[in-house]
A and B are shown apart, each in its own frame.
Chain A
């Protein structure tokens, strides 16, 4: 189990999708398709819906909050987001979604080394207190 810091509280589980390269949601993710569309990104074409998305770091445009909000509005968002370092971009999109009455998702800050210990493709559970557990089934 990995202990993280809950940025946006909530509970979720899903298959871990670990990004091996930083991403800008704006320009990098299509919110309607819920898909990574930056052809230069190593996970180009990956679908986000229902996944627990592990992001070592975010880059690029400050419009990424808006893409986060649209993913939540469209219902194509990941089940949860794990971030190597807290920022007020992606997590904020989830906060605003809550204000507007949309279903929101947990966002957790976890140490990048601990993040690297979570196997890509495994089923992980995110708890309200920020704990992240790999399910063995």
Chain B
């Protein structure tokens, strides 16, 4: 075995902390070996994407870990489940599914994870700092924690995230290492007009394009506004992690590892020289540059809609990733005093909803006819009123997964267009921003 384990890690394997921790350690070790890692790294936080019910196997895994005395060794948040525990009538599911989904969510809470039930833990106070080693699951959260917060995680799938949390260890591999975090390609967005780059509707489309273009390559994006918001970066990462396996991107002048384009490409001045045996050598010569063109963006925009751009809609869903307080504020401003003609769902964390209630946004939304879903979302569990129809969204991730997960056709538009269309009951979309 080429993997070196510390005495403590060997003790965990041998059952020093019980059967649950031993099983978690066996799985972490198996992952480290298949990834080719030489050692494990201690982590300071975890985000577990394992409490969404996909079938009874996931419940059996969580309960086996819990029964074996498994406990979270580091501060750990939980991703969405398949139920809205605060509003149980929202999700349509049979008794077996409801019971198993609840057991799965509860098993992780019983092991000491925080019942956040959100895909955006970074919006409810879980914000590791630059350089911290963490183990996060959920593709958008992975992209955000790496790119926007500058902490370090690989793409952890269900089960491995929980095993890392229980052991407090992760395979030292990939994006945990300095030298694998540098950009290998420059995405040049300087020619995109300011009028588009300043709008939220741009970011999921850019993310969709980025994921399709890069797969899992790391880009530094040049030419985005210095005041690009966290919500815009969240939307960009979520879309890129849907169409590609993007786990890290840099934005020059915006994200922590990219004070400049050059810094993101070549150096980790703050973190020291590349380690011996690094997977990638320093980028030699001139890096590849890919321009963001109007044609490329329009093709990605088109990919985010499967329904006709002129026609009726049956529902609107926003909040993937989960709605932030700032997004609630914006939506409250847009719907105030209006009456929505179709069901309109906002998905968010219970903690964010509590804040939205305090600020009065929730009352404005409910008066207009908005439904608020917490702990889960409309694309992961049956909430939408029918098994087909047309769903409008401002989320690149909802647009990507909507058709296969809900049976609905999708149409993508800005939050403002979503509200306008929901009032009219048909698609009203401004197209002119996409032409230059």
A-side residues, CB < 8 A to B, are 7-8, 22, 24, 26-28, 31-32, 37-40, 57-67, 69-70, 72-74, 86-89, 91-93, 95-97, 99-100, 102
Cβ of B70 under 8 Å from chain A:
no
Chain A residue at minimal CB-CB distance from B29: A95
Chain B residues with CB under 8 A of A72: 57
CB distance from B13 to the nearest CB of A (A): 13
Once A7-B34, A57-B215, A88-B34 are accepted as A-B contacts, the answer to whether A62 and B58 lie under 8 Å apart by CB is no
B313-338 interface code vs A (CB 8 A; 1 in, 0 out): 00000000000000000000000000
B154-177 residues with Cβ-Cβ distance < 8 A to A are 154-161, 171
Q: Is the CB of A92 within 8 A of B54?
A: no
Q: Is the CB of B216 within 8 A of A88?
A: no
Candidates B35, B60, B241, B401; contact of A86 at CB < 8 Å: B35
Q: Is the CB of A58 within 8 A of B245?
A: yes
Q: Is the CB of B56 within 8 A of A73?
A: yes
Q: What 6 A-B pairs have minimum CB-CB distances, sorted nearest first?
A: A65-B157, A70-B55, A89-B157, A66-B158, A65-B158, A73-B57
CB distance from A118 to the nearest CB of B (A): 21
B-side residues, CB < 8 A to A, are 23, 26-27, 30-31, 34-36, 49-50, 52, 54-58, 60-61, 64, 137-139, 142, 154-161, 171, 211, 215-216, 241-245, 306, 400-401, 403-405
Q: Is the CB of A92 within 8 A of B155?
A: no
Q: Is the CB of A62 within 8 A of B158?
A: yes
Chain B residues touching A, majority SS: helix
Candidates B23, B56, B139, B215; contact of A99 at CB < 8 Å: B23
Chain B residues with CB under 8 A of A24: 242
CB distance from A106 to the nearest CB of B (A): 12
Q: Is the CB of B403 within 8 A of A61?
A: no
Chain B residue at minimal CB-CB distance from A99: B23
Considering the chains assembled together, what is the distance between the CA atoms of A67 and B401 in angstroms?
15
CB distance from B338 to the nearest CB of A (A): 33
Candidates A27, A64, A97; contact of B157 at CB < 8 Å: A64
Candidates B23, B34, B49, B55; contact of A62 at CB < 8 Å: B49
Considering the chains assembled together, what is the distance between the CA atoms of A73 and B158 in angstroms?
15
Q: Is the CB of B30 within 8 A of A100?
A: no
Once A57-B216, A88-B35, A91-B34 are accepted as A-B contacts, the answer to whether A62 and B27 lie under 8 Å apart by CB is no
